[in-house]
A and B are shown apart, each in its own frame.
Chain A
């Protein structure tokens, strides 16, 4: 009885104590014809965390997320949701399990013939809950997503952001153990994207909801994920806490995905770089301790030369400072080696991008 109760509520402390892992994927494989879409992915999603999966389009992330609720059948490997293996289950056995997994979509997928309220209540209708209970729950959820006044409206009259809020309310209706987000903000403008992500983060904190999201935008990962998994060609190329992956990207794919949100040397400056010159242009990647200390001032007092900040900045990801600075260093002959050594010693990663003849 207790177990049964916990399974329905999903958010009860009993459940939390019993298992920390909500989703576990072991060596998942799925191929379409000869092309592997998912090629041996293993990962776990822990209770209450936001795991972001990022990759370029065609990396296999959609296939991966669709395997999780059985919309896609894997060719190999295992998937466990709340400790129960779902791979190999038939369509009928999958149905009650899918109610434990909420999902939101890029194009919202709201039913046009139903009102907002009916859309949100639909998962409960499928569970066979009485109408009064469904409407009560729908009302609470619309309150949560800030659309209580739109209960009787039809989706066609809502904006994109409002539609996704309804989508989120609907996904939460049956009190799922995990929320899957399939590019949920990709069809929205930047401002609406921010408000939807803020809502998801808020729900994650308030309800302790576990979220697994896939995206191709690092900005999404940066704003709400706790951990990130980068996949490419159906394989995991990198994973870890978001700040650490942002601070020390190991793979080329990650670096290129990060490209759009990390500071880059402005093009007109890059064009003026020469193999030698009076002033070296350095790229400093700093995070954690190195980013907290007065690095540039220490540099200036330890090594003779003129140092100036050209471009860049420090961002805070999960309360960890992560930054990229472009610094011009004019030192005596041979001084650059000392500068690099000094900075490396203090935990900064340094790259000499080139030299400029005079002030840029």
Chain B
């Protein structure tokens, strides 16, 4: 592999990492509160508001049903409004984050729902309100699942960012399609896949380590 090719691979790796990290962070920031809102407002939840729950659920499902490649194009006006341009790495972060947020919200919701109701009851019985339950019970108790779910989301984002090549965002996936697939450069394809494997394994390894450290349940 030539030096140019190697530089290209490095740059693509950086673009993928940037897109994954930025959109991942945004999805965590918005997805976790959304997941909390989904379980809190549900029937029997700590702040039961059924109509809020139904509305949030419908919006989440709506976003999750749109194929990412369509979302990428459909969100161009919004992207232009936020980033100022509709092409490039930063432009891809907007649709990636918007797709990942409801996805992560559902994953977080599953972990939060698994928190023993008895614990919520215990904190209510000692005079804790809704906010105390979120802070002292729901988030800390579900944290291993919240982190594990975030790991899954990041890996999914690595995959989804490949499609962002369609709007000129670059990244490893884009490199693999343009050089490896369209120009039949098998060496590039193999190199990209190898880098992706290492990246995904790295994310998963860090995630697993973190979960093991946070989990005091067993």
Contact = CB atoms under 8 A, between A and B. Distances in A.
B54 interface: no
Interface in B108-130: 116, 118-119, 121-129
B212 interface: no
B218 interface: yes
Main secondary structure, interface of B, reads helix
Contacts of B140: 111, 113-114
A91 B132 CA distance: 13
Nearest to B214: A113
Given A71-B125, A174-B126, 4 more contacts: A92-B129, A96-B127, A105-B118, A111-B137
B141 A112 contact: yes
Contacts of B217: 112, 156
Contact of A122 (B123, B141, B143, B218): B123
A114 B135 CA distance: 12
Given A113-B143, A113-B216, A122-B136, A107 B125 contact: no
Contact of A109 (B122, B214, B216, B218): B122
Interface residues on B, range: 20 to 34
B183 to A, nearest CB: 52
A154 B144 CA distance: 15
A69 interface: yes
Contacts of A95: 127-129
B124 A71 contact: yes
Nearest to B126: A123
Contact of A156 (B118, B123, B141, B218): B218
B122 A103 contact: yes
Shortest 4 CB-CB contacts between residues of A and residues of B: A109-B122, A113-B140, A98-B127, A99-B127
Contacts of A103: 122, 125-126
A98 B216 contact: no
A127 interface: yes
